[in-house]
């Protein structure tokens, strides 16, 4: 008697009941292996989703801001890193100059990254860590900060203000 793995004289496998059951078992085994193997291969071989964060985030309505009065605006930015999606809180110092002219500064001092604030009495941004001062345009008044404040990319849609990524300033 021939087994399932032995072909007959015509080159075919036997078609008796035992052969049929073996064929079913082998087919199921193949299907299970594919069911497990294909997702594993996709996971191992395809690169993860690339790192990405929201390009533009709506942060304010310019109609709500007072011209010439810097305001710290806190907002959330979503970040996709591989399979992980996170949301982080950040802020910007927004200075509205007119209905269509606005700048937004990154919230870290360009010396060593401390958080600075607007000093209404001195009419300048003051960093408490080492006393750097910046004017309302972000320029250094007093060091040790080596360069102006970094700025966000900005986009206006009507009166809606959108912030993009931070652009490093030049010394
Ligand atoms: S970190 Fe701002 S002056 Fe040093």
The structural domains of the chain, with segments of one domain joined by +, span 1-46, 52-167
pLDDT of residue 121: 92
Confidence of residue 81 (pLDDT cuts 50, 70, 90): confident
CATH of domain 52-167: 2.102.10.10
Q: What atom of ligand 1 comes closest to residue 109's alpha carbon?
A: 2
Does the pLDDT of residue 46 top 90, yes or no? no
Output the pLDDT for position 65: 87
The residue assigned the tokens 């003051």 is 126
- pLDDT > 70 fraction of the chain, expressed in percent and rounded: 87
Residues whose CB falls within 8 Å of the CB of residue 70, separated by 6 or more in sequence, listed in order: 93, 94, 95, 118, 125, 136
For residue 9 the two structure tokens come to: 């004289």
| Helix ranges restricted to H, 2-125 | 17-45
Q: Is the CB of 129 under 6 A from ligand 1?
A: yes
Q: pLDDT tens, 48-72?
A: 665 666 688 898 888 888 888 999 9
> What number is the average pLDDT over the span 100-109?
93
Distance 126 CA to ligand 1 centre (A): 9
Q: For the chain, give the mean pLDDT.
A: 85
For residue 15, what pLDDT is reported? 66
Assign 141 a pLDDT band (cuts: 50, 70, 90).
Answer: very high
Task: State the pLDDT at residue 6.
Answer: 61
pTM for the predicted model, two decimal places: 0.66
pLDDT of residue 14: 57
Average pLDDT over residues 3-24: 69
Give strand pairing partners of 142. Answer: 133
- Reported as a pLDDT band with limits 50, 70 and 90, residue 118 is very high
Does 109 contact ligand 1 (Cβ within 6 A)? Answer: yes
Report how far apart, in Å, the C-alpha atoms of 63 and of each of 33, 96, 97, 99, 156 are.
Answer: 62, 10, 12, 8, 12
Tokens, residue 63: 């109609």
| pLDDT over 90 at 86, yes or no | no
- Ligand 1 center from residue 141 Cα (angstroms): 13
133 CA distance to ligand 1 centroid (A)? 9
């Amino acid at each position: 008697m021939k087994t399932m793995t032995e072909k007959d004289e015509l080159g075919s496998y036997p078609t008796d009941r035992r052969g049929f059951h073996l064929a079913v078992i082998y087919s199921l085994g193949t299907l299970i292996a594919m069911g497990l193997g294909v997702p594993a291969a996709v996971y191992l071989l395809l690169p993860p989703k690339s790192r990405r964060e929201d390009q533009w985030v709506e942060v304010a309505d310019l109609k709500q801001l007072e011209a010439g009065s810097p305001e710290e605006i806190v907002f959330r930015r979503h970040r996709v890193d591989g399979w992980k999606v996170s949301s982080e809180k950040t802020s910007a110092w927004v200075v509205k100059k007119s209905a269509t002219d606005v700048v937004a500064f990154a919230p870290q001092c360009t010396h060593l990254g401390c958080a600075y604030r607007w000093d209404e009495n001195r009419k300048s941004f003051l960093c408490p860590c080492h006393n750097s001062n910046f004017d309302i345009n972000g320029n250094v008044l007093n060091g040790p900060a080596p360069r102006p404040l970094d700025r966000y990319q900005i986009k206006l849609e009507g009166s809606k203000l959108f912030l993009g990524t931070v652009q490093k300033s030049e010394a």
